[in-house]
Structure 1
Amino acid sequence: MIAGRLVSKIAVVMLLAASAPAADWPRYLGPNNDSSSSETKLLHEWPKEGPHKLWEYPKGDGHTGPVVAGGRVVLFHALDGHEVIDCLDAATGARQWRVSYPADYQAQFGAGPGPRTAPVIDGGLVFTLGIKGTLQALDLATGAVKWKRELASEYKLLPTFFGQGGTPLVMGDKLIVPLGTEDQKSVVALDKQTGRELWAAKHAWGSSYSSPVPAKFYGRECVLAFQGGMDDPPTGGLLVIDAADGTVFSATPHRARMFASVSISAPVVSGNRVFIAEAYTEGGACVEIAPDFTAKVAWRARKFDTYLMSAVPYDGCFFGFAGQHQQNAALVCYEVASGNELWRDDLGGRFQRGSLLRADGGFLCLGENGDLAWLDLTRKGAKITAAAKFFHAPETWTAPALSDGRLFICQNEAGANGTKPRLICYDLHGR
């Protein structure tokens, strides 16, 4: 009898272990599309130099983040006039395969030639959207090209400031791609297995540099796309789209008043409210979705002007770095319900603008010059509980990725002491 119960308990444990989700980071906003991870037992204290570095890998141009699934890391970058997809072993950094194709590109406003979008991993496939509109699906295990589309020619894309910039989103059997075309296909859904178009959300707003996110309102699956392209006068805002057929439920305008401006931060969901922000003139806005799927602006916050990074929802608040420029950057907290600013802290100027990742009861913060810290963030304020200087290099704007206790950080520019652009893997489990 006891032996039987023991066998039953072991079977239950094995079943739970088999059904537990892998510690993956398959998209740049993470497995929950909100910059959070369920990982626990991470190191919250480390020596002055920070957690142990496991490995590093040289990278080319671009500010896209790595994604991780099944023990593999995928990096999308540019080298010698080519866009390159590298697949690495997560434990060692050894390259398993590489796919590349020509992609010479020069942005109109002097930005670098690298891709703007992160890869996406789903169901054994890797999806990448290049700066000139090359969209392809690759086999995660081998790198074999499953299908490929040249969106610029096939869809007659509208002009952009810096090429294609919104990371695609997988929802079920659909690959959601922000576009902006001459015939007003603002967002399209493609069959992720074949690349065939399933629906197109029709709207005049072109593609921004914000990435779409999923949301469920009143039992209905939706796509949230913060659009707005190279329009004069500038137009754009939040589209709430039916994920089933592409119907545009609502379109809430929110865009900087100046032509040379872009929207980058992704929409952030809390209940039936969505926070969107740009950093040039208008700042942030919180949009409330009604049961009939109409939308209205619940509050505005001009000083909650997230720019290169997205805010993170937690405990009825939005936390994020505000400020278009380094000299006015600060970490802020806004209450979702009221729109009140609860506090603002520049953290001693150490991080300037930074990316937040919520995990294991705290927030990891990656500053734009190569600093990492654990932060305790509450409605009452911010406290640094651990900090380290990994390197000193500008444009560390890429959000980090966390998978299986490994933290993946991109150094995008050459830095002090001769350091070169690279992907670095740090140990947060104390292996």
Structure 2
Amino acid sequence: MRCVAVRTFLTFILVLALGQILIASESGASDWPRWRGKNMDGKALQTGVFNFDQGYGLKVNWLKPLGSSYSSVSIADGRVVTMFSDSTFDYVVALDPSNGAELWRYQIDSTYVGHDTSHDGQISTPTIDGDYVFVYGRKGQLFALSAENGKLIWSRNVKEEINSLEPFHGFGSSPIVVGDVLMCQTGGTKEHTVCGFNKSDGKLLWSAGADTINYQSPVSATFFGDEQLIAVADHNVYGINPESGEIFWAHRHNSGSQSINPLVIGEDKIFLKLRRQSTMLQLSKTDGKYSVAELWKTNNIRQTFNSTVHLNGYLYGYSGRFITCVDVATGNTVWKSRPPGDGFLILVDDHLVILTKRGTLHIAKASPEDYVEMASTQVFSGLTWTPPSFAAGSIYARNLFEIARVDIAPVDQLITLDQPEVETINPNGGFAKFVKKVETASDNEKKMLIDKFVKSQKSFPVIEDERFAHFIYNGEAKDIAMAGDMLAPGQEVPLNRINGTNFFFASFELEPDARVTYQIRKDFDNVISDPLNPHVAPAGPVMQGAGSELRMPGFKPVDHFAEPKAGVARGNIETFEFESKILSNKRNVHVYLPAGYTESKDRYPVLFVNYGQGAKDQMQMPNSLDNLIASKQIRPIITVFVEAPQSFQEYSRAGRDQHAQMYAEELLPHIDQKYRTKANADSRVIMGGDEGGFAAFYAAFNYPDIFRNVAGQSTHLHKPDGGDALTKIVSESEQLPIKIYMDWGKYDLIYQNGLSWPQLNEDFVKLLKEKGYSVDARKVNDGFGWASWRNRTDKILEAFFPLKAQN
């Protein structure tokens, strides 16, 4: 819909921060025709939008079902255009902005099926340019449709025609138009990073840059009189002449695939939100030549797929899960806020419009003072992973299931969503009574009560009734949160703060014999172990940094991985670099030789361990081997700790067959030749955790004449990422002479979308038993990762290498 007020822009020239001069028209000034809006900076052009002091608030005008896609919403000339999947096909669809009714749809291709936690459907956003709608599809299709009726005008397969290198989750760059040239980031090291096409027929006009791309989208700007395309690739950022493809300048950033969208600031600066460190670039031009300088680098905005906006000398964006305000001049953090939660934002009328991943919509002042929320409402109930758009006075939002138009309209009462109430665990217990007593005490009494309580505790976290665990942080801080095995991967919960104190707490109900790893996150960025808990533990591989270990009363600690006592004979570790021709890469291999190997002439059984570095250093397996051999619980063995430089691909995904082949045809013969091994399948065991466990099973079931023993801990069995392939092999093959061990934890990986490692492991054990296999399967009240797996290393070693058995 068009705003009457827009007509007043017909005779004005707006000077924009991009350095471009744009003539506003009745049909265009209030549009949002492409990814990140009209000027590709995440900022709407309208002013006077939010009149909260005059009884205005947020009101859902319409909400319609819509299938899965990450594509955001483009709005122009009375059409709302986006993409969706019906689980069979992917579509471009145009809707009526007044009521959400469908105007037309175009079938792109069969649905791009999500994988590795991604969802079905398209990633990029359609670009509306006059009579055209341009789309770059996830499978590499670039095409133009009629904006009026959705009919195909032209189409080409960029991936096939210019041999583009497809990103892991498919192509996701959103195209833009400058004049008669349609441009998108196609990717390819042979001068095909960015391509320019004739928008009327799709003919390739030029290509430029020699770099790979992932999900970045270009923007246009004018610097020093030169109109140019700014394109960020995985390792470089380019300034390109949009008419000819000439590269005006290039700058190497080397930050990888999370360098998503450049943000032009003022007349000569570009902000790059990179993966680990973001940077501010300054351009200059002398005697016709460009130069690029880095003004500053910061890690204050990083690790997010959300783009950043700029207003009056300040950047606003997400850093991790937190909205962050950063000073443009210095890169220093001005403030951070946990509310309203992780999501995506744009800038409208000097306000942040934020759509969270929980489906809540929030309006907050864009101010360096702090996060100040003005209004909010619940729009969706399902997972939301797309930034909002704004056009003609309305907010357009979508998630993986629905699309909605939200108006800024008169409301009976201005609504802001209340923060969820603190859930009281064991409300009749002593800890709950202590909290209530402190909450109702005077300021002077509060500190005294807290000090007395802390001093009276024998250990932390505080355990109540053998099943309630109260995690406590007592100290000065703005924000305290925690992550841990009892939460979903990537999830963290803020600790509750008793008003007027520095006492923070969170409570959980756990099994009486549980053991979990957790971390404290202090003031958003500082990851620390619990200062009140002496039990430290390795937090990886999901959580990174320092970790603490909660031991419930019924948990029985083990010490086989502890540093061996004086007098215990120690094994020796040899490390060498191993080159694989099958995988076309190199890896470090660490070989543990038991005490006495050099002096003896015996041959030894061999254990191969995936994720070798972590198993060796974090699980402390060499200590376990020394201790268990010395105490005669297992016989002496050779252990081969194998690293994987590309474990994400090699273990369970595209490279799994080559990885198993590497073991069988390259590494194992090398080990047998170099060391005195028992060179038979019955004397070999292969093991690993998570995806390393998958790789162990995949190798054993594909090469049963080489491996007759396999162990997996918290084994990765996600169906789209290798799980289906492994279960098919097991289901369709005859029973093989393989001995199997598996363990997993109750507090293993359980994602918020319901994907559950415990359930996948239980299902796999059921399949194995149905096929006649004898499986040593153990579900324990433990978590995921090094600190959990090392508690049962002795069980694996004793199962496969008992002292009494000699092959």
Fold-level similarity (TM above 0.5): yes
Name which of structure 1's ranges 97-106 and 141-150 shifts more when overlaid on structure 2. 97-106
* In 2, Cα distance between equivalents of 1:294 and 1:244: 21
Amino acid at match of 1:406: S
Amino acid at match of 1:315: N
Matched, 1:225 2:231: yes
The Cα of 1:15 is off from its aligned counterpart by 6.6
* In 1, Cα distance between equivalents of 2:177 and 2:303: 25
* In 2, Cα distance between equivalents of 1:46 and 1:88: 32
* In 2, Cα distance between equivalents of 1:252 and 1:300: 14
Is the Cα–Cα contact under 8 Å of residues 312 and 319 in structure 1 kept in the other structure? yes
* In 1, Cα distance between equivalents of 2:346 and 2:405: 16
* In 1, Cα distance between equivalents of 2:119 and 2:109: 16
Amino acid at match of 1:354: G
2:387 to 384, 399, 413: 399
1:422 to 402, 425, 442: 402
The Cα of 1:238 is off from its aligned counterpart by 1.6
Is the Cα–Cα contact under 8 Å of residues 56 and 422 in structure 1 kept in the other structure? yes
| Counterparts of residues 312-391 of structure 1 (less than 5 Å) | 312-323=309-320, 329-347=321-339, 350-351=340-341, 353-391=342-380
* In 1, Cα distance between equivalents of 2:10 and 2:259: 41
The Cα of 1:199 is off from its aligned counterpart by 1.5
| Counterparts of residues 146-295 of structure 1 (less than 5 Å) | 146-181=153-188, 183-201=190-208, 203-228=209-234, 236-256=235-255, 262-263=257-258, 265-271=260-266, 272-279=268-275, 282-291=276-285, 292-295=289-292
SS at match of 1:262: helix
| Counterparts of residues 34-113 of structure 1 (less than 5 Å) | 34-45=41-52, 51-106=58-113, 109-113=116-120
Is the Cα–Cα contact under 8 Å of residues 173 and 217 in structure 2 kept in the other structure? yes
SS at match of 1:293: strand
Name which of structure 1's ranges 13-22 and 145-154 shifts more when overlaid on structure 2. 13-22
After superposition, the C-alpha distances for 1:185-218 in whole angstroms (9 at most, x for unaligned) are 11011111111112111x2211221111111111
Partner residue in 2 for 1:31: 38
**Could you say if the C-alpha distance between residues 13 and 37 of structure 1 is closer, same or farther in structure 2, counting changes exceeding 3 Å?**
closer
**Could you say if the C-alpha distance between residues 103 and 183 of structure 1 is closer, same or farther in structure 2, counting changes exceeding 3 Å?**
farther
* In 2, Cα distance between equivalents of 1:74 and 1:19: 20
* In 2, Cα distance between equivalents of 1:192 and 1:123: 11
Is the Cα–Cα contact under 8 Å of residues 111 and 121 in structure 2 kept in the other structure? no
* In 2, Cα distance between equivalents of 1:211 and 1:116: 11
SS at match of 2:112: coil
Amino acid at match of 1:95: E
* In 2, Cα distance between equivalents of 1:363 and 1:344: 14
Amino acid at match of 1:309: N
Amino acid at match of 2:263: V
The Cα of 1:89 is off from its aligned counterpart by 0.7
After superposition, the C-alpha distances for 1:296-338 in whole angstroms (9 at most, x for unaligned) are 2211112310522100011112111111xxxxx2111222222
After superposition, the C-alpha distances for 1:8-67 in whole angstroms (9 at most, x for unaligned) are xxxx9797499444421101211121111122343444999x622222222222111011
Amino acid at match of 2:386: T
Larger Rg: 2
Partner residue in 2 for 1:409: 397
**Could you say if the C-alpha distance between residues 128 and 304 of structure 1 is closer, same or farther in structure 2, counting changes exceeding 3 Å?**
same
* In 1, Cα distance between equivalents of 2:394 and 2:273: 30
Q: Greater share of helix residues, 1 or 2?
A: 2
Partner residue in 2 for 1:416: none
Amino acid at match of 2:262: P
The Cα of 1:110 is off from its aligned counterpart by 4.2
Is the Cα–Cα contact under 8 Å of residues 114 and 121 in structure 2 kept in the other structure? no
Amino acid at match of 1:263: Q
Could you list the structure 1 runs, at least 4 aligned residues long, displaced by more than 6 angstroms after superposition.
Answer: 12-15
* In 1, Cα distance between equivalents of 2:259 and 2:338: 21
* In 2, Cα distance between equivalents of 1:382 and 1:246: 42
After superposition, the C-alpha distances for 1:93-152 in whole angstroms (9 at most, x for unaligned) are 111111103234345634223111000000111001110011111111111111111111
Is the Cα–Cα contact under 8 Å of residues 159 and 166 in structure 2 kept in the other structure? no
SS at match of 1:52: strand
Name which of structure 1's ranges 402-411 and 37-46 shifts more when overlaid on structure 2. 37-46
The Cα of 1:174 is off from its aligned counterpart by 0.9
* In 2, Cα distance between equivalents of 1:94 and 1:264: 36
Name which of structure 1's ranges 146-155 and 52-61 shifts more when overlaid on structure 2. 52-61
* In 1, Cα distance between equivalents of 2:25 and 2:281: 36
Amino acid at match of 1:387: S
The Cα of 1:80 is off from its aligned counterpart by 2.8
* In 1, Cα distance between equivalents of 2:25 and 2:237: 36
Is the Cα–Cα contact under 8 Å of residues 99 and 143 in structure 1 kept in the other structure? yes
Partner residue in 2 for 1:128: 135
- Structure 2, unaligned runs of 5 or more: 1-6, 13-23, 412-807
TM-score, normalization by structure 2 = 0.46
After superposition, the C-alpha distances for 1:347-385 in whole angstroms (9 at most, x for unaligned) are 3xx32x222222223221222211212111223322112
Amino acid at match of 2:260: S
* In 2, Cα distance between equivalents of 1:380 and 1:13: 33
SS at match of 2:193: strand
* In 1, Cα distance between equivalents of 2:166 and 2:138: 12
SS at match of 1:381: coil
**Could you say if the C-alpha distance between residues 338 and 66 of structure 1 is closer, same or farther in structure 2, counting changes exceeding 3 Å?**
same
**Could you say if the C-alpha distance between residues 252 and 242 of structure 1 is closer, same or farther in structure 2, counting changes exceeding 3 Å?**
same
TM-score, normalization by structure 1 = 0.84
**Could you say if the C-alpha distance between residues 147 and 240 of structure 1 is closer, same or farther in structure 2, counting changes exceeding 3 Å?**
same
**Could you say if the C-alpha distance between residues 107 and 218 of structure 1 is closer, same or farther in structure 2, counting changes exceeding 3 Å?**
same
Is the Cα–Cα contact under 8 Å of residues 213 and 257 in structure 2 kept in the other structure? no
* In 1, Cα distance between equivalents of 2:332 and 2:392: 37
- Counting aligned pairs with the same residue, the percent is 27
SS at match of 2:35: coil
Amino acid at match of 2:158: L
* In 1, Cα distance between equivalents of 2:117 and 2:259: 17
**Could you say if the C-alpha distance between residues 90 and 216 of structure 1 is closer, same or farther in structure 2, counting changes exceeding 3 Å?**
same
Name which of structure 1's ranges 374-383 and 268-277 shifts more when overlaid on structure 2. 374-383
